[in-house]
């Protein structure tokens, strides 16, 4: 099965050979890092071609590296940058709601109440209502200011994720600033667009969906189908956002963009289970209100964001260890790094090159 794939994709192997042979053009002349091209040719093409022992090794190393890479601390840092990006994004949302009207606002707040765990919804709903009350008549200005502020703030999250992904893949950042900065901003913009589309999907439900359906001449049956289909669509959008982060962030070339990776699927499943479990815990067993008083909602929301980032980083670590195991199966030494081909090595120091074995 693997040989058939290689016969059909011989040009891909030649392209990988060319990239590896020309690795010096992205760094110092003659430098090379990462597995040999022969490793890629010998490696399994699909996760299903990996044996039971390989899967056990991936799970074991994922757990070990999760601790060694200090991903709980890195998830806390991502939570901080996520908070910085949240309220400018709400500013954009308020501007959109100012155009859509009060029914859209009520629909958003109702869905937030259903989606967010515990009293964390009070933080978001309160901010939306306050911003809407203070932003009346200035929707377009708020949209522009909010978009720029959200783009810059959210790019801090992406920058932190880039640093974390390089640590997870055990590879130094080699892309120059003129290359990494546009990547950071473009990736942020794409993620924001996907997030806005997700928000619009949430908005167009209930009474607003019926009103729009009447305007467009859409029957109730179609609206009923939409009320069911929109949730899988939201899950798909979140999966794409995670896949984009996994693909573009690390200084690791990998095997190209994948809509769904084993790690992104794992992250999504763990996030949904953990969010549901945390919501159940807060509602029935926790005593946040007694401990933190009026700050309970803030604390709960921060913990939930931390859990979200923790799930995303766990999925990233799983994908990295899948790449390592795949290289090992192709003949790459198990302890030799990097186990993936770097995208760029121009910013590597002499110490980086020595550590990566490319001097």
DSSP string, 297-358: HHHHHHHHHHHHHHHHHHHHHHHHHHHHHHHHHTT--TT-S-SS-BS--TT--HHHHHHHT-
- pLDDT of 120 higher than 70: no
Q: How far apart are CA 34 and CA 170, in angstroms?
A: 11
Summarised one tens digit per residue, pLDDT across range 154-175 is: 788 999 999 999 999 989 999 9
- pLDDT of 116 higher than 60: no
Cα→Cα distances 228→104, 144, 201, 224, 326, Å: 19, 33, 12, 7, 38
Q: Which of 165-174, 284-293, 298-307 has the lowest mean pLDDT?
A: 284-293
Percent of the chain with pLDDT over 70: 62
User: What is the structure's pLDDT at 76?
Assistant: 94
User: What is the structure's pLDDT at 279?
Assistant: 79
- pLDDT of 25 higher than 50: no
Q: What angle do CA 174, 178, 181 make, to 5 degrees?
A: 85
Higher pLDDT, 158 or 295: 158
Domain residue extents for the chain: 56-330
Higher pLDDT, 345 or 332: 345
Q: Residue 239's CB: how many other CB atoms inside 10 A?
A: 17
Summarised one tens digit per residue, pLDDT across range 229-242 is: 777 888 888 889 99
Tokens of 11: 């040009």
Summarised one tens digit per residue, pLDDT across range 73-94 is: 999 999 998 888 776 666 666 6
User: What is the structure's pLDDT at 306?
Assistant: 93
User: What is the structure's pLDDT at 130?
Assistant: 61
- pLDDT of 276 higher than 60: yes
Higher pLDDT, 113 or 11: 113
User: What is the structure's pLDDT at 359?
Assistant: 56
């Amino acid at each position: 099965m693997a040989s058939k794939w290689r016969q059909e994709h011989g040009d891909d192997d030649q392209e990988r050979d060319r990239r590896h042979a020309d690795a010096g053009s992205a760094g110092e002349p003659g430098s090379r890092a990462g597995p040999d091209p022969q490793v890629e040719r010998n490696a399994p093409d699909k996760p299903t071609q990996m044996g039971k022992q390989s899967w056990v090794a991936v799970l074991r190393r994922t757990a070990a590296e999760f601790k060694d890479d200090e991903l709980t601390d890195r998830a806390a840092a991502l939570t901080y940058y996520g908070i910085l990006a949240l309220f400018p994004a709400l500013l954009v949302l308020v501007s959109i709601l100012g155009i859509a009207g009060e029914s859209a606002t009520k629909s958003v707040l109702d869905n937030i109440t259903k989606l967010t765990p515990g009293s964390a919804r009070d933080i978001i709903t309160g901010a939306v209502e306050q911003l809407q009350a203070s932003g009346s008549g200035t929707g377009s200005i708020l949209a522009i200011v909010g978009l720029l502020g959200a783009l810059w703030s959210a790019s801090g999250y992406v920058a932190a994720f880039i640093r974390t992904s390089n640590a997870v893949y055990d590879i130094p950042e080699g892309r120059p600033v003129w290359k990494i900065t546009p990547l950071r901003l473009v990736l942020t913009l794409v993620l924001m667009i996907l997030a806005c589309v997700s928000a619009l999907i949430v908005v167009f439900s209930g009474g607003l969906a019926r009103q729009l359906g009447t305007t467009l001449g859409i029957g109730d049956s179609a609206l009923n189908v939409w009320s069911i289909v929109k949730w899988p669509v939201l899950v798909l959008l979140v999966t794409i956002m995670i896949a984009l982060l996994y693909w573009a962030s690390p200084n690791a070339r990998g095997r190209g963009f994948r809509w769904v990776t084993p790690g992104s699927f794992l992250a999504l499943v763990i996030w949904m289970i953990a969010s549901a479990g945390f919501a159940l815990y807060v509602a029935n067993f926790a005593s946040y209100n007694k401990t933190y008083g009026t700050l309970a909602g803030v604390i709960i929301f921060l913990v939930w964001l931390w859990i979200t980032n923790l799930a995303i980083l766990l999925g990233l670590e799983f994908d990295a260890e899948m790449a390592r195991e795949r290289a090992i199966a192709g003949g790459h030494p198990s302890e030799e790094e990097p186990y993936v081909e770097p995208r760029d090595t121009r910013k590597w120091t002499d110490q980086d090159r020595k550590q990566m074995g490319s001097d």
